[in-house]
Structure 1
Amino acid sequence: MRRERELPAITDTQAFGRELAELLQPGDLVVLAGPLGAGKTALTQGIGAGLGVPGPITSPTFVLARVHRGGRVPLVHVDAYRLAGMADVDDLDLDATTEEAVTVVEWGHGLVEQLADEHLVVELDRRDDDVRTVRLVPVGPGWEQRLADAA
């Protein structure tokens, strides 16, 4: 899997999420970083589709976290935008699901990394021409190896 890629349309972002889902397993933490409109929720929709999660995946902005079951691995989708710090993260009790699910956190950079020894940061951006770019940043030797094996 290439670590950097251009995603010309939102459907490409979703397709990339489906491709990324093939690498995901229970206990994985994926931290999505990028500005508003960069495609974080669209990427998560693709991840959910790739995991076989039924039903729509929408931004959990107002509920903070949603658990989607029914796929090959449960998906926990978190929006950390309104979280003020570790106390707020602890209140979500994400530790209870991290071992059995794939946890995807929007706006979580700098807040949730301690939930797992290793994690994957997905940096998304949106250029002026609406083309999105994605960059995978593995944190830990396990993710380094997984990405190398998928290349």
Structure 2
Amino acid sequence: MEFIVNNSQETQNIAQKLADLVQAGDIILLTGDLGAGKTTFTKGLAKGLGIKANIKSPTFTLIREYHQGRLPLYHMDVYRLEEVGGDELGLEEYFNGDGVSVVEWAKFVADEIPVDNLEVIFTKDSENPDYRKLSFLGHGSRSQALAQALSQSLA
């Protein structure tokens, strides 16, 4: 399933729709180049969950936790783990916890990621800096159902 967005507000709108559908234990992987819109998407998801905090990329802290909304949001940016992996971080506690986990640069902790996850791939257009293609891939039954429900809610 793919969606075309023309600005950051459209990216956030899709994420807000997804926020209505997520449940505790859902894992969302955000894949794309630097500046592709991954944190913008997370801002929309947080807003949809009712989180009013300023959402910033956790590049240097690795994980930011937000507990003010309908569900806790665990925002992870594991880019800095490219050389070492994440087996010592206890990521499974987040993935199996009471909130929604959003992971940027998940390829660097691929061995830690549960099989059932929703991957969102951000593709930029070199000619139009605001244009993005967002591709949603559900890996596992829960995430496939989540992707399908999102498609129906955006139809």
Match of 1:27 among 22, 25, 28: 25
Match of 1:148 in 2: 148
Residue identity opposite 1:143 in structure 2: S
Unaligned runs of 5+ residues in structure 1 are none
The ranges of structure 1 where at least 4 consecutive aligned residues each deviate by more than 6 angstroms after the TM superposition are none
Secondary structure, aligned partner of 1:90? coil
Deviation at 1:110, TM superposition (A): 5.6
Deviations 1:12-38 (A, max 9, x none): 111111111112110011110001111
Alignment coverage as a number of residue pairs? 148
What percent identity do the matched residue pairs reach?
A: 34
- TM-score, normalization: structure 2? 0.87
Q: List aligned pairs for 1:1-151, cutoff 5 A.
A: 3-84=1-82, 88-98=85-95, 99-109=97-107, 111-112=109-110, 114-128=112-126, 129-130=128-129, 131-150=131-150, 151=152
Deviation at 1:132, TM superposition (A): 1.1
* 1:59–1:135 Cα change, 3 Å: same
- Whether the 8 Å contact between 2:118 and 2:144 is mirrored in structure 1 is no
Residue identity opposite 1:147 in structure 2: A
Q: CA RMSD in A?
A: 1.7
Deviation at 1:96, TM superposition (A): 1.9
Unaligned runs of 5+ residues in structure 2 are none
Residue identity opposite 2:76 in structure 1: V
Give the whole-Å Cα distance in 1 for the aligned partners of 2:35 and 2:50: 25
Deviation at 1:120, TM superposition (A): 0.4
Residue identity opposite 1:96 in structure 2: E
Deviation at 1:114, TM superposition (A): 4.0
